[in-house]
Structure 1
Amino acid sequence: MNLLKKQILGFFTKGHERTLLAKKNIIASFGIKGISIAINLALVPLTINYVNPTQYGIWLTLSSIVAWFSFFDIGFGNGLRNRFAESKAHGDVEKARIYVSTTYAILTLIFLCVWLVFFTTNFFIDWSKILNAPKELAQELSTLSLIVFSFLCLRIIFQTINTIIVADQKPALAGFLNMAGQLLGVIIIFILTRTTQGTLINLGLALGVSPIFIFIISSFIFYNGKYKEFAPSLKNIDFSFARDIMNLGVKFFLIQFGAIVLFQTTNIVITKVLGPEKVTVYNIAYKYFSVMSMLFYIILSPFWSAFTEAYAKQEYNWMKNSIEKLKKIWLLSIPLGLIMVLLANFAYKLWIGNVINVPISVSIAMAILILLSMRFNLFILPINGMGKIRLQLYVNIAISLVYIPMAIYSCKWYGLEGIIGANILVAAIHAVISQKQITRLMTTKATGIWNK
């Protein structure tokens, strides 16, 4: 017992200060993410029973379409994350404060303009055609789209507090705020199931207002407490700093846009080719196997800002050791994926009953996709932390040009398995290229496009 205590104590007290901070965040994040996963799993049957499988599929597809507009932040969130971490690493509090205030100001201006444009054009959009939904739902879907879009704009602005928390290498705290928003949403949906008739409008209001409420409260608390010296203010807004954020942020913006084309269009293609109910089947399998990626991301998340700091200080040995440890952890996820495939049908039945049938072939394909995506994220998060993202940008653009026709063709001929296969190919390409780049960066052999 004494030996075990020493080993546990040594785990939290020995090693590089940056590594110890990452360990503490990882341990805390496991508990938080465990609750978050449970909430997400509970939300699916709760939502399906509140509306119905077809309406749930419509909701997922509409959410995917509206999520496209999140790229209008032009990468300012991720740009702020790196610039804030760099400024704090160099002890430049004034610069960090200006970055924060300027980001809030720019995001507010951008999304106010975007909201006004959407509000005007929404009157002329027939959402029932876009979502392949019954004509009688047209008016309800128009109202729902405006609700969802309005909440999206507000969330992007107010979640800047989470960006600062993560940049300060405290992803567990950021995860807690996200979890709190999810929990509040589930509580509201549960109350609605007991008090109201299921409607998409109520669903949109409940899931939209919950995270925003949490972010507003947490912003008030942190900007009057721990992050008081970085609190946004009108006098600290300096639009000349916007270019510094945008130099990196625009690249992240284009990468995010490519990611949206690659992954958010999946729901749209499935809806158009196979119908809204198949979107529900796809997303149930995705949410089930995403448990693996959620757990893995808990371990990965502290390393973005940690690599920003390490790269600024040129601590390459620490970076190499960290990547090797992460590779070993990823290998452990392979047997976990196999076990989840074997238990898939039992898990689906236990989780959502007999409402939806997910073929075993879809489960196998989804497991492969998630594992490859985890491998890609293993390398790309540290690369993002270093800010060497131009290669990733070019690869995303190239793949985006061919993805949609490839996805439609695969879906028409091979169903859900086909479109998942298209995503597997994309994830494999990204994983191979990102591994080569991180290896070159850590050995200081990266030149040309590999180092930009």
Structure 2
Amino acid sequence: MVQVSGKERSSNYISQVKKSVTYKAAAVAASFISVPIMLRYLGNESYGIWSTLLTLMSWVVFFDLGIGNGLRNKLAQSIATNRPDEARAYISASYSWIGAISGVLCAALVIASYFVPWQRVFNTTSLDNSYLSTVVATAIFFVLANFWISLINQILGSIQKSSLVVLGQLISNAGGLLAVYILYLTTSPSLLYMTISYGLSLCAGNIALSIYHFSRHKGSRPRPLFSLGVIRPLLTVGLQFFGIQLAALAFFATDKIIITQVFGPESVAVYDVVFKLFAVVTLAQGLILAPLWSAYTDAYHRGDFTWIRAAFKRQIAIYGATSILTIVMAAAAPTIIDLWTGFAVKVPRYLIGSMAIYIIVATWVNIFAIFLNGVQKIRVSFLVSVTAVTINVPLSIYLATHTNLNVAAVSIGTTIALLPGVFLGPYQAIKIIKQKDLGIWSH
């Protein structure tokens, strides 16, 4: 598990990227194929409701108080400093506390879901409110179950086996594609059936990874452990990430809600298709960056700044290539979307252009964010995130309601809000790499 030199760390990194690319290509293909099938199965309005529901459900992952990310960093640190007993305790405490949190949240949210006016939330009258409540309650159950078992992803990330995380995504996406195709062939349109099939496929990947990992590493299997002394270090680290996660929640998850409320759920389908197309770029970058999180942690705690500098140079060179790819995709996007969706949605060019600019900005910010996460210097990242949220929501609403930009207004507002991170993230990273006096940048 332990990388003991820069050469071995680099070799493992290259291996993880190669495997991740293979698995992710198949996972993305499964996801892309499923989109037009879902559009035909549900129709534009129900698909928009479905997409918005997934956005709302994504909020659940932030209720772990940052324990998951705290586990990833502290576990990687324990491995780098050769403290196996400490590592095992962190795993057990994380599973115990997240399991308890998931159980309590599941009971509370399922009950609460039957008192929410979901027709108003989704801006629709085509589906009965009681039916929507059942759909939401079902989604809550599956998402919270996965919320607990997905801790395996943090463990695999900490031991620099991120390709296995992508393999889990492939299993989930392939299962989801098979499920939606069966639904399309055998049933009438049903959000409830879609939710159940999505939930089962979502959990399948992480269950498979958990069985694989803990059968090979029996000594790290979690056991009940609610020790405050063990969980406290994870919370100390995790709460810093939690603040950034909450800001990210408000920053990204509100986009579809704004579109739903201002333009209606049908417009969410248009926005979501364009977003999914350009997400190929961020997914590709994610494959490259994901193994670096814990690799940066390992290198930082070993004082291997030479390796860190070399890694940064490679990432900036790759960024140039992904930016060119984004521009090419923008030019070809109308044709790709027509062929992909079977002309099911009509996408305006200004939405394509604004999304391309957003991707170019976001991928730059991600290069430095992953490093700062790995070395746990995230105070400035938190301040930048809060600033971005403060700008994004009101600006997106204003542009959406006071201009003729339509849904492109939301991606433009999001891009503008990201701009502080374009400069401050690189500045802090450079100071850390040069090991200068960091002052307020030290956390």
Asked if TM exceeds 0.5, the reply is: yes
Alignment of 1:55-94 (within 5 A): 55-94=46-85
1:249 is aligned to 2:238: yes
1:293 is aligned to 2:293: no
| Greater Cα offset, 210-219 or 177-186 | 210-219
Give the SS at the match of 2:435: coil
* Counterpart pick for 1:283 among 267, 272, 277: 272
Shift of 1:81: 0.3
Mark the CA change 1:398 to 1:342 in structure 2 (over 3 Å): closer, same or farther: closer
Tell me the distance in 1 between the aligned counterparts of 2:275 and 2:421.
19
* Counterpart pick for 1:400 among 384, 389, 398: 389
Deviations 1:281-337 (A, max 9, x none): 111111101111111111111110000001101111111111011101100112211
Letter in 2 for 1:327: I
Query: Is the contact made by 2:392 and 2:416 (CA closer than 8 Å) also made in structure 1?
Result: no
Shift of 1:448: 2.3
Query: Is the contact made by 2:92 and 2:221 (CA closer than 8 Å) also made in structure 1?
Result: yes
Structure 2 alignment gaps of length 5 or more: none
Deviations 1:120-168 (A, max 9, x none): 2222111001110116431221111111111111111001111111111
Shift of 1:237: 4.8
Q: Could you list the runs of 4 or more consecutive aligned residues of structure 1 that deviate by over 6 angstroms after TM superposition?
A: none
Instruction: Tell me the equivalent position of 1:329.
Output: 318
Shift of 1:372: 1.0
Tell me the distance in 1 between the aligned counterparts of 2:112 and 2:156.
36
1:174 is aligned to 2:165: yes
Alignment of 1:19-418 (within 5 A): 19-134=10-125, 136-225=127-216, 227-234=217-224, 237-412=226-401, 413=403, 414-418=405-409
Letter in 2 for 1:37: V
Query: Is the contact made by 1:155 and 1:211 (CA closer than 8 Å) also made in structure 2?
Result: yes
Deviations 1:30-83 (A, max 9, x none): 111111111111111011111101100011112112222221111111100001
Mark the CA change 1:45 to 1:446 in structure 2 (over 3 Å): closer, same or farther: farther
Give the SS at the match of 1:125: coil
Query: Is the contact made by 1:293 and 1:371 (CA closer than 8 Å) also made in structure 2?
Result: no
TM-score (norm 2): 0.96
Give the SS at the match of 1:354: coil
Shift of 1:248: 0.8
Shift of 1:115: 1.5
Mark the CA change 1:135 to 1:348 in structure 2 (over 3 Å): closer, same or farther: closer
CA RMSD in angstroms, aligned pairs only: 1.4
Shift of 1:110: 1.1
Give the SS at the match of 1:198: coil
Shift of 1:441: 0.7
Letter in 1 for 2:327: L
Query: Is the contact made by 1:81 and 1:167 (CA closer than 8 Å) also made in structure 2?
Result: yes
Query: Is the contact made by 2:114 and 2:130 (CA closer than 8 Å) also made in structure 1?
Result: no
| Greater Cα offset, 409-418 or 356-365 | 409-418
* Counterpart pick for 1:424 among 415, 429, 439: 415
Shift of 1:403: 2.5
Tell me the distance in 2 between the aligned counterparts of 1:348 and 1:221.
38
Tell me the distance in 2 between the aligned counterparts of 1:180 and 1:33.
10
Give the SS at the match of 2:57: helix
Give the SS at the match of 2:188: coil
Letter in 1 for 2:350: S
Instruction: Tell me the equivalent position of 1:8.
Output: none
Tell me the distance in 2 between the aligned counterparts of 1:366 and 1:446.
38
Shift of 1:173: 1.1
* Counterpart pick for 1:433 among 412, 424, 432: 424
Shift of 1:15: 6.8
Shift of 1:425: 1.1
Letter in 2 for 1:381: I
Query: Is the contact made by 1:152 and 1:208 (CA closer than 8 Å) also made in structure 2?
Result: yes
Mark the CA change 1:65 to 1:222 in structure 2 (over 3 Å): closer, same or farther: same
Give the SS at the match of 2:377: coil
Give the SS at the match of 1:301: helix
Shift of 1:446: 4.6
Give the SS at the match of 2:222: coil
Tell me the distance in 1 between the aligned counterparts of 2:359 and 2:122.
26
Deviations 1:370-407 (A, max 9, x none): 11111111111011000111111122123323422211
Number of residue pairs matched? 437
Tell me the distance in 1 between the aligned counterparts of 2:366 and 2:97.
29
Tell me the distance in 2 between the aligned counterparts of 1:170 and 1:158.
17
Mark the CA change 1:237 to 1:117 in structure 2 (over 3 Å): closer, same or farther: closer
Q: Percent identity?
A: 28
